[in-house]
Chain A
């Protein structure tokens, strides 16, 4: 019988035998999805997310308008006060804006996922024999596009305002990649919050509480040395500061410093801690 050659759980509407044999179906079931199945399912969920993006272009507002607005606003408002001139401020600020953009975008990932989880279709995802990781990891994979767009626009608007990165093409590319990687890693934190919170608004609220101190109590917009001692101590351990410094080293100097290593270690740590938490919390909620 031709059906035996097919992978388990496959169905053929019309093509298979006329009647269904329950005993055979039960015999073919597996007790958990294999890693390769989980990867394939994640790709399918990512496909769904990109379809949704294409149909709701307003999802791109935050990654298009915000970077442009923040870059211009911060440069002209703080430039003179902090660095004496806008052009002197840009090398300090652009990597800071990149980190801020990554944080804001990753927050949106969590809020959107929570919003999506309210929909009836998530009931079907939960009832399907698929890895509990896929519905979370799929949209996050598609969101790599959003991080890419946000980072590109931030850099482009900086360059348009007269920023000339000293790190050259490779340095800029490195900073761009680091921004995307950190945004994606951070998104697991907000996704985890998303699985815990009661509503998308709650995720938004909680995420704001996390985001503001992390961005502004960092070296993103001002030199850490200019701060009072106790604040400087916090700023130095703030992971956002490490990402910002790493981005500066890459983009301005083209140097792969220890800071770049620390930033990457931080990203790995975020994923290792928060991805399992998010998946477990999602699976528990069933």
Chain B
């Protein structure tokens, strides 16, 4: 079976900066493939090149076997693209937007009306059908944007950071919607800065950094490199640390680390349930505990584990990705600062 996406040696340079520096990707039919990386890593640029929105500098890209460089018009008929900045018309109502995009793709006036209503219904926007998009919330815009990509039921859908800037509840709804698309037989290529999003949705993940692919695998394979979460135990008496380390080693396979303050032990865990085992064992051994918390591994910890360096922001290339407004500094940075914080 042809791959949905076949990319070899993709390159895009903005001046001296190689935003995408030789990326290979292989997305199989019917899977959700996640491209994970910090801001400015080259995710959006990659997606835009594959979506015929940016010229490809070097490399080969095929969508269901169709050459992106040679036959952009054909590729556009296979793809649905949902950008990082909702690409819907603010001056039109939700229904008008969908009707316009349907009409542009050769669908009859009557059928365009039917499709618009069905999609609005399916994406929970039926009540807002005749409202101007400029009055929409961020989550509603994203959903409308996604609905617009579904008009022709394309076999491949690109989602560029589909939940950046959404609140947790809306984000959960978006995840459900994305999963339902795969059930219909679509293949999905999505980019994200959130490890948990890639974890929740993707069958396979490619980790991108500085325009290069630094790792690839299933979420389990990636997380295995850092553990699924970390248990932080602050000891009541720092004298107990050798005893505590020995106890933890006895319970879990992962090697605990002593943090600089010496009173704190970080324990990598494969499941959060391990925390209970560790705490019970510590109580039995008579080790006093001052504080306990469980942290999910951040993207940065994955990065640290894979590349040996943190996932620092690179505002210089983020501005060069070519999205409208990309130069305004409104690149979702404020939403992600928490995620990209340097590991404790």
Contacts and interface: CB of A to CB of B under 8 A. Distances in A.
Contacts of B151: 11, 13
A121 B65 contact: no
A123 B78 contact: no
B324 A118 contact: yes
Interface stretch (A41-49, A89-97, A180-188, A246-254): A41-49
Interface in A15-73: 15-16, 18-23, 25-26, 28-33, 37, 40-41, 44-45, 47-48, 51-52, 55-56
A229 interface: no
A11 B83 contact: no
A286 to B, nearest CB: 6
B152 A33 contact: no
Given A123-B83, A127-B52, A29 B66 contact: yes
B91 A52 contact: yes
Contact of B53 (A33, A52, A134, A286): A286
B265 interface: no
A30 B100 contact: no
A30 B55 contact: no
Contacts of B105: 9-11, 128-130
B309 to A, nearest CB: 33
B64 interface: yes
Contacts of A236: none
B86 interface: yes
Contacts of A128: 76, 101, 104-105
A47 B100 contact: yes
A286 B324 contact: no
Contacts of A124: 81, 83, 87-88, 101, 148
Nearest to A135: B104
A2 interface: no
Interface centre among B54, B77, B107, B184 (most CB of A within 10 A): B77
Interface in B80-96: 81, 83, 85-92, 96
A44 B104 contact: yes
A31 B87 contact: no
A122 B111 CA distance: 24
A161 to B, nearest CB: 37
B51 interface: yes
Contacts of B187: 22
Nearest to A121: B89
A25 B65 CA distance: 12
Given A20-B185, A31-B71, A25 B77 contact: yes
B226 interface: no
B74 A29 contact: yes
A12 B116 CA distance: 10
A129 B184 contact: no
A248 to B, nearest CB: 39
B100 A8 contact: no
Nearest to B116: A13
Identify which of B79, B92, B156 gathers the most chain A CB atoms within 10 Å of its CB: B92
Contact of B52 (A11, A119, A122, A286): A286
A13 B153 contact: yes
A27 B26 CA distance: 21
A7 interface: yes
Contacts of A33: 73
Shortest 8 CB-CB distances between A and B: which pairs?
Answer: A11-B152, A19-B185, A22-B155, A20-B185, A129-B76, A124-B87, A29-B77, A121-B89
Given A23-B2, A29-B66, 6 more contacts: A12-B115, A22-B4, A47-B103, A51-B96, A55-B132, A286-B55
25 contacts: A8-B106, A9-B77, A10-B111, A11-B107, A11-B151, A12-B153, A13-B119, A13-B150, A19-B185, A22-B155, A23-B2, A25-B77, A25-B155, A26-B74, A29-B66, A31-B74, A48-B92, A55-B91, A55-B132, A120-B85, A120-B325, A121-B90, A123-B81, A127-B51, A128-B101
